[in-house]
Amino acid sequence: MAKRTLGQLDVSGKRVLVRVDFNVPIDQGIEGISLYDQRLRATLPTINYLVEQGSKVVLCSHLGRPKGEVVEELRLAPVGDRLAFLLERPVKSLPEITGPMVSDAIAAMAPGDVVLLENLRFNPGEEQNDEAFACELSDSVDCFVNDAFAVCHRAHASTAGITKFLPSAMGLLVQREVTEMGKALENPDKPLAALMGGAKVSDKILLLDNLLEDLDHLFIGGGMCVTFLNALGFLTGDSRIEEDRLEFARQIMERAKKSNTEVHLPDYVVIANEFKPDPSDIDVMHVGDVPDGWYIMDIAPSAAQEFSETLRKCKTIIWNGPMGVFEMPKFSKGTRTVAEAIAKLEDVTSVVGGGSTAEAIEELGLMDKMTHVSTGGGASLEFLEGKELPGIAALPEG
């Protein structure tokens, strides 16, 4: 059953608590926040909608992992400043989460005002889904909107517990995440492709299990391809192999044959004699010739082109995980080539999982070229695995 949406919740003139995900790289300072502000921009439609309705908008978010204690470096005020710039309206950052000072500030709000509460995880009750803390959060507001898809896989006080105390709904961002990824899972245009990368096979086991029989094409790059190549009998140098996943890799390839899913692995890879950003030697090698002491760092340019050519024949593409060690510029070319190829496709639904894949797309400036780039890393992965997300499950039906 569909969950209640923002348009179905009476917010006109109301004090609305909005759970957002402003967990941005604050350790890089103001410049870091401005460079990686996708999560802030993604919430603007919901905030602007509420402002237009004359709501008093009370935002809450976590930042980092303060473990239930106040950590000065993880205060949200700098994020509030960036949000004010993006909204083109003032955002008042409060130094507390709950209590008399917060109640007084909310009571003084005028329609259209926006305030940002302090880091939710300064209170240990947040991650414990403590009912008393959830009740405190609800005290000074009239209703609740969850617009933080990236934490919907967490049963925390501000995602699940709060819904027991307030009329609740999903925000426009969460609604779009559920709609776009749900469409790619439940009713995709064919051919359907999954592009899998990232460091480990173990991170993608349930995703592969959930998708495989529906796929026309499965592309495997990144660190994942090392284990798959090894499972096929290729030597992979000193690259990290997940020994306990070799049999799973073989089973996936066997299942793919039975379901007529074409599996694409790179024929050539970029290798380095040291696993670091500037190794003393880099080469391109056939997957059967990788020598001892070398590391597979990226798919080769020829493999990236082959992947891109086949992806052009697909109508729906689900992408989760870079094709190489993208954070090291010398090994980002495979990801870049594939991303640029997908960005140029017309009449194709491209759904990009969150986390490192979304960061790569943002860094490449291709956000607006994809159908949907998820704001959630773990949340998008669990959604695509077919799991129920606690933050969404807790919302009432529409």
| Mean per-residue pLDDT, 253-270 | 96
Q: How far is CA 147 from CA 19, 62, 193, 277, 346, in A?
A: 6, 13, 28, 37, 29
Domain 181-374 is classified in which CATH homologous superfamily?
A: Phosphoglycerate kinase, N-terminal domain (3.40.50.1260)
251: buried, middle or exposed (CB in 10 Å: 19+, 13-18, 0-12)?
Answer: middle
Residue ranges, CATH 3.40.50.1260, the chain: 6-173+389-393, 181-374
pLDDT digits (tens, 9 = 90+) for 191-203: 999 999 988 888 8
Would you state the pLDDT for residue 1? 60
Extract the tokens encoding 202. 């173990």
Place of tokens 């870049």: 336
Would you state the pLDDT for residue 148? 97
pLDDT digits (tens, 9 = 90+) for 204-231: 888 899 999 999 999 999 999 999 999 9
The 10 Å Cβ neighbour count of residue 390 is 18
Work out the mean pLDDT of the chain and round it to a whole number: 94
Among 324, 355, 377, 391, which one carries the catalytic annotation?
A: 355
> pLDDT confidence of 340, banded at 50, 70, 90?
very high
Strands 114-116 and 56-60: parallel
Alpha carbons 213 and 196: distance in angstroms, whole number: 15
Higher pLDDT, 335 or 381: 335
Among 32, 112, 182, 378, which one carries the catalytic annotation?
A: 378
Residue 318 and residue 195 in contact, taking contact as beta carbons nearer than 8 Å:
yes
| Mean per-residue pLDDT, 36-61 | 95
What percent of the chain shows pLDDT beyond 90? 83
Query: 263 — phi, psi (to 5°)?
Result: -95, 130
Amino acid symbol at 350: S
Would you state the pLDDT for residue 221? 96
Would you state the pLDDT for residue 342? 96
pLDDT digits (tens, 9 = 90+) for 277-287: 999 999 999 99
pLDDT digits (tens, 9 = 90+) for 124-172: 999 999 999 999 999 999 999 999 999 999 999 999 999 999 999 999 9
Strands 143-146 and 15-19: parallel
Among 183, 200, 240, 330, which one carries the catalytic annotation?
A: 200
3-state secondary structure string across 77-128: HHHHHHHHHHHCCCCEECCCCCCHHHHHHHHCCCCCCEEECCCHHHCCCCCC
39 is catalytic: yes
Among 9-23, 181-195, 269-283, 295-309, the least confident range: 181-195
> pLDDT confidence of 398, banded at 50, 70, 90?
confident
Among 3, 39, 176, 336, which one carries the catalytic annotation?
A: 39
Alpha carbons 215 and 203: distance in angstroms, whole number: 19
Residue 138 and residue 18 in contact, taking contact as beta carbons nearer than 8 Å:
no
Domain 6-173+389-393 is classified in which CATH homologous superfamily?
A: Phosphoglycerate kinase, N-terminal domain (3.40.50.1260)
**Global pTM value:** 0.87
353 is catalytic: no
